[in-house]
Structure 1
Amino acid sequence: MTSMQPFWWLALPVLLLPVWWHMRKRERTRTDILATARFLPAAAPQQQRVLRWSDVLLLLVRMALLFMLLAWLAVLVMPWKGDTVFIDPSLESSPWAAQQVQSAGMGAAAREPLPADLWNWLARNEHEWRPEARFLILAPRAAMPALPPRLAHAAELRLAPSAIAAQPPVAAAATPRKRHVVVSAPAERLPRWQALFAAFSTAADGANLYLLSDTPTTDTELIVWDHSGNEPPASWKAPLWWRTAVTNGQTQTPEGLAWTAPQWPLHDVDAARALYERWQAATAQMSPYPMPAQTLKAGRKEPLAAPLARSPEWLALALLALFAIERILTHARSR
C-alpha cells in the first residue's frame, strides 16, 4: 500500500479514544435489600474498581472505523496494476510494435494509450502500479524533458523506425488549424485580401485555415489595417499587424508587432509567397528536442506524493459499512 498524504498517520493516537470511552463507562445496577439483612450488623459499603472489558466487538468496530477514516484522509492506495505497455495509437496495429512487446517479454502485459505529457503523467499516477511493475513505452518519437525522468518503476522507451513513424495514422485525418485574422480595408480592396488569404489556406497542404472577421477577439493573431490615413481603434490588439506606411519596416507597438509597407503584395505571386513564408517562420512553434530510445532504471524508492490525489472508492465503501455496523451494534446494546 502507498499513502499519498502520510502526515495524517500522525493522528493514529485517536484510536485510543474508544478505549478510553469504554474504560470510563459505568453500568448502574439496582440494589435490593434482603429481608434477612436486618439481623446483620450495619457496615458502610465499600466499592472496588475492577477493570473489565465489555462490548469488545463494539470497541473493535469503533477503532476500525477511526482507522479507516485516517486511511481515507491519508489517501491510502493499494497498487494493483502490473507490467504495462504504453503504445501510441498510430503503432497499435504495426508488426514492429508486436515484435517489441514480445522481445521485451511483456506479451501478457496490459496496454494503455500513450499519454500526451508522458513523464509528468507517469510521475503523478505511478502509485497505481505495483513496485515490481515495468513500463514499456512504444512511440514514433518522444520529446526530451527538461530534467531526466525519475520514476519509482523501471521504464524502457523504444522508438519506431523512421519508415514506420512517417506513416500517418489512419484516424488522424488532417484537421486544419484555424487561425483568426481581422481585415480592415476599403470595400474595393477587401476582395483582394480575401483572395490572398484563401490562397494562404491552400498552402502547406491545407494545414491552416484562415478565418476573416471585422473585429478582433482573444483568438485573433493578425490584424490587417489597410488604411493609409486613419488610425485603428485603441482597443484593437493582436500579436501581429500589417499596416500601410510610407516605408517597409518592423515596429513594436503597444498594440502588437507591426509590419509596414507602402503597398502590400496582393498581385505579385513571389512577393506574396515571401510574405507567407516570413509570417510562418515568425509564428512557427518550436519543435522539442527528440529523446533517444533508452532504458530508465527506477530512480525513487516510492512514488511521488500527489497533493491532489483522491482516495479509492473501496475505502469510502469500507468506511460507510463500518459506520453502519457501529450504529447497529450501538442500537442493539442499548435495547
Structure 2
Amino acid sequence: MASLWWWALPVLLLPILWHRQKREQTQAAPLATARFLPASMPVQLRVWRWRDLLLLLLRCLLLATLIAFLADPVLPWRGDSVLVAPGADPAFVDRQAREAGLADAGRIALPGRDGYRWLHQHEREFKPQARLLLVGDVAMPAALPHLRHALTVRPQAASVPSSEQHVAVVSRRAEEWRTLFAAPGGPQRYVVDAQAGPKTGLVVWDVPEPPPPGVHAPLWWVADTTAFPELQKAPQAGDLHYLDSPRGRLWSAAWLPPRDAAGARTMFETWQRLHAGVAPYTAPPQAPVVDAGAPAGPDGGALRDALAMALLVLFALERMLTHVRRR
C-alpha cells in the first residue's frame, strides 16, 4: 500500500503553477514625454529572481521528500552476507563462511533465533545477486519460506543451559514423587521441597486436606481432588481438568499420580507442552530453492530516519527563504 504514494508525484506541478501565478509583474506607468516617442506595442518582461527559483526548487524537493517518506522506499544496498544467530561459535561461523566462499562477506548479527522471519522482513535490502549464509542455532520454520535470494543454512545447535525448578510436594507418598522428579535427568534439575516457597513453580497436592491460606504457585498438580471441589466442574481438555484460581492454575487428570512409566511420560510431556512451552527445533542444513516470484517482504522503513531529517531541513530552509523573499 505504501508504494501507491508514488502516484502522488504529479503534485509537484502545484508549486510550479503557483509560482507562475505569483510572479511579480511590471506595471506600466505613463511618462509625460511618451507622446514624443514613436508608437509601438508594449512589451512586458517577466524576470525570475534567483530567490524565486531557489524557493521553487525547495518546495518541489519538500513535496518529493514527503511522498518518498510516505512511500517508504527500500534501496537494495546489502551484498553477500553472513547472517549469524545469537550464541553461534565465532570459529564455527568463520569456518562455514570460508567453505561457502563468503569469507569477505559482511556479517549481520540477528536479534533472535528466527532467522527466516528476519530475512523475510529485510530481504528487499539485499541486492538481486547477493548470496546469503545463515549460521547458528536457527529455529526451524513450520513451512519452508519462498525467498528471492540464494540462501544456505548451516545450523549449530546451541547447548541447553542448565536450570533449576523448585517443586513442592505435599503427599503421604512424597518419596515416590521425589523418585519421579529425579528420573528425567538432563539440564533441567528438579528440587523437591516439603512446602511451597518464593521459588516454587509447581505444587503437587496429593492429600485430601485443603491447603492453608496464603500458599500460591503458578501451577498445581492436584492428585486428590477432595481438597479442591471446584475442580469437579472445571473445564476439560482431553483428560485434563484445569481451572485458574487465586492460588494459581489447577490441574487434575487421570494420570495424576502416574502409575507407570507411560503415565509419568505423559505427565512430563503435558507439563512441557501446555505450561513450560516447547522450544523450537533447530533448522536442518538446507538450501531453499530461489523463487524469483516470491512476494516481497513488508515495508522496512530503512530510509525513514534519513527522509524525516531531510523533511525537517527542507521545511526550515523553505520557511527562511520565504521570509527573506517577503522583505
Deviation at 1:9, TM superposition (A): 0.8
**Equivalences for 1:205-216 in 2 at 5 Å?**
205=186, 207-209=188-190
The structure 1 residue matched to 2:324, chosen from 302, 307, 332, is: 332
Instruction: Encode CA deviations 1:233-267: one digit per residue, 9 max, x unaligned.
Output: 9xx99876322269xxx9543526413699x69xx
Q: Is the 8 A contact 2:155 2:283 kept in 1?
A: no
Q: Is the 8 A contact 1:245 1:261 kept in 2?
A: no
Match status 1:204 vs 2:185:
yes
Closer/same/farther in 2, CA of residues 147 and 254 from structure 1, 3 Å limit? closer
Name the structure 2 match of 1:176: 163
Q: Is the 8 A contact 1:222 1:242 kept in 2?
A: no
The structure 2 residue matched to 1:304, chosen from 293, 296, 313, is: 296
Instruction: Name stretches of at least 5 consecutive residues in structure 2 with no aligned partner.
Output: 227-237, 244-249
The structure 2 residue matched to 1:107, chosen from 78, 87, 103, is: 103
What is the letter of the counterpart of residue 258 of structure 1? S
The structure 2 residue matched to 1:281, chosen from 256, 269, 288, is: 269
Give the secondary-structure state (helix, strand or coil) at the position aligned to 1:90: coil
The structure 2 residue matched to 1:322, chosen from 278, 298, 314, is: 314
What is the letter of the counterpart of residue 118 of structure 2? W
Name the structure 2 match of 1:258: 252
Deviation at 1:175, TM superposition (A): 4.0
Name the structure 1 match of 2:235: none
CA distance in 2, matches of 1:292, 1:224: 38
Name the structure 2 match of 1:11: 8
Instruction: Name stretches of at least 5 consecutive residues in structure 1 with no aligned partner.
Output: 266-270
CA distance in 2, matches of 1:92, 1:257: 44
Match status 1:137 vs 2:134:
yes
What is the letter of the counterpart of residue 242 of structure 1? V
Q: Is the 8 A contact 1:12 1:70 kept in 2?
A: yes
Deviation at 1:67, TM superposition (A): 0.4
CA distance in 1, matches of 2:42, 2:220: 93
What is the letter of the counterpart of residue 221 of structure 2? W
Match status 1:118 vs 2:98:
no
Which range moved further: 289-298 or 319-328? Answer: 289-298
Identity value in percent: 35
Deviation at 1:82, TM superposition (A): 1.6
Give the secondary-structure state (helix, strand or coil) at the position aligned to 1:146: coil
Q: Is the 8 A contact 1:126 1:303 kept in 2?
A: no
Name the structure 2 match of 1:244: 224
Q: Is the 8 A contact 1:240 1:259 kept in 2?
A: no
Closer/same/farther in 2, CA of residues 326 and 210 from structure 1, 3 Å limit? farther
Deviation at 1:208, TM superposition (A): 4.4
Match status 1:92 vs 2:86:
no
Q: Is the 8 A contact 2:113 2:139 kept in 1?
A: no
Deviation at 1:129, TM superposition (A): 2.1
Instruction: Encode CA deviations 1:23-68: one digit per residue, 9 max, x unaligned.
Output: 1114255654423357799x9xx98887775522221221111101
Name the structure 2 match of 1:268: none
Give the number of aligned pairs. 298
Instruction: Encode CA deviations 1:64-101: one digit per residue, 9 max, x unaligned.
Output: 1110111111112223222111234333223xx43432
Name the structure 1 match of 2:24: 27
State the Cα RMSD in Å. 4.6
CA distance in 2, matches of 1:98, 1:261: 49
